[in-house]
Each structure stands twice: as structure tokens, then as C-alpha cells.
Amino acid sequence: MGKNIKSQRRGRATTTYTRPSFNFTADTRIGTDGSAVITELVHCRAHSAPLAKIRHEDGSVTFIIAPEGIKSGQEISIGGNTVSNGNVLRLGDIPEGTNVFSIENVPGDGGKFVKASGLTAKIVAKSQSKVTILLPSKKNKDFNPNCKAIIGVAAGGGRPEKPFYKAGRKYHRMRAKNMYWPEVCGSSMNAVDHPFGGRSSHHKGRPTIAPHNAPPGKKVGSIRPRRTGKKR
């Protein structure tokens, strides 16, 4: 009797592969413009960097990625013109060469780029229609000047420098976020786990091309590629 391959089991949204978002501390949102006070720094297992709990002038409370060098009780400004560590500004108001993180992809989404601990990006060019930012991946990306970002570097730098030493610690770390780990290539699996699996050899000689009308259990590898073979 056959069974579903791993990609099919992940698509069923069972608790085995679903992230426990109900147990996360909070989602990061910048909130309303004006001044705000950082009340405390909290840990969230959904984020590698610590979160800063801020209280706005209207009494609302939101969470942002904590900047490096910030402390509890410090006052920050949102939507102003003061370029200082921890302040939240529009990309159009930030001068070139400034380090920023937690960058919004669409104005008002709360920040989607450069949110991991110790990361920062740099503004390299500005115009009336776009702002070009050098991301940690060394790629340039254009953003809307109305998108906001936090000045400085995300806190928690140096986290990847400590090794796990053994697979058991890595397992529990990934289990906290319920992430799929370890990842195994399909050719190393059994025949019932993956279409590329089976036999004892790692090199099966199976084709990695699936037709466009293949059923979900067979849609692995290259789905109807435009070309095959080594590009010369």
C-alpha cells in the first residue's frame, strides 16, 4: 500500500508541519507616527532578534525588531526627520549611506526585509520615484520612498557564531518553530517516499522532468522545463 510523499503531507496543513503561530509572542508592526517609548525587550521564538515593546502617544502598544544599542525606557520617534539609532523614518527622508533594517515592502506592512539578528542594509541611491538599498545578500532592490525602515542594526548579532555541536540541539531548535528539518534529497529516500527514491545507489538515473499535467504526487523536479541538458 502506497502513501503520500512528504510534499503532499506538508500541504495538508496538519500539526506535524504547521508553525505554532498561536504560541508566538507578537507580530512586528511599526504603528502610528509620533513619539513612542520602549517599555521592555522581549524574546519571541519566531524571531531570531529580540523584540522591543513600544507604547505610542495614543496608548497603543506594538512590537518592533529591537535595534542594537537600545534600552528600556528610551524614547524613539516614528515618521519624523531625525536620523538616530532606533528611530523609524520614511526611506525618502533617510540620507544615502545610512544603515537600516526591518524595511517595509509596501507602505504600512510593518517591515518585511532585513529582520534577522545582526543584519543591516544600506541606502545607496535615491530618486523621487524609488530608493535603492543594498541588502545583506549583496543585491540591490528598489523600494517605494514612502516605505519605512528602522535606523541602525538589528540586535542579537553574533548568534550564528556559536555552533550547535550536535544534531540533537539543532533538532530542538528547529522543533521550536516546527520547521521541516533535516532536509533530505529525494534520490536518497525510499521508493514509497519520493518518485526519485528507490534502489541502493544514490544516482538512480531517474529523469527529473515532470509533465505539466502530472498529478500532485509526481510534480517533482523540473515541471515542464523550457529546455534540458547542460547549457553550453
CATH number of the domain at 129, please.
Answer: 2.30.30.30
pLDDT in tens, 97-137: 999 999 999 999 999 999 999 999 999 999 999 999 999 99
Q: Is residue 176 part of a domain?
A: yes
Across 162-170, average pLDDT: 94
At residue 210, the pLDDT reads 85
Residue with cell string 519566531:
46
With a cut of 60, say whether residue 93 has pLDDT above it: yes
- For residues 90 and 151, state if they share a domain: yes
- For residues 171 and 153, state if they share a domain: no
At residue 16, the pLDDT reads 83
Q: How many CB atoms lie within 10 A of CB 19?
A: 11
Better-predicted residue by pLDDT, 44 or 1: 44
Across 91-99, average pLDDT: 95
- Which of 143, 154, 145 lies closest to 105, judged by CA? 143
Which structural domain range is residue 173 located in? 162-223
Across 152-171, average pLDDT: 94
Across 217-230, average pLDDT: 81
Q: pLDDT category, 192, cuts 50, 70, 90?
A: confident
- For residues 200 and 174, state if they share a domain: yes
With a cut of 60, say whether residue 226 has pLDDT above it: yes
Better-predicted residue by pLDDT, 152 or 195: 152
Alpha-carbon distances, residue 72 vs 34, 49, 75 (angstroms): 18, 16, 9
Question: Pick from 104, 130, 159: which residue ends a domain?
Answer: 159
- For residues 211 and 128, state if they share a domain: no
Q: Is residue 148 part of a domain?
A: yes
Question: Pick from 159, 176, 209: which residue ends a domain?
Answer: 159
Residues 6+ apart with CB under 8 A from 199: none
- The total domain count for the chain is 2
Question: Pick from 123, 141, 159: which residue ends a domain?
Answer: 159
pTM (two decimals): 0.81
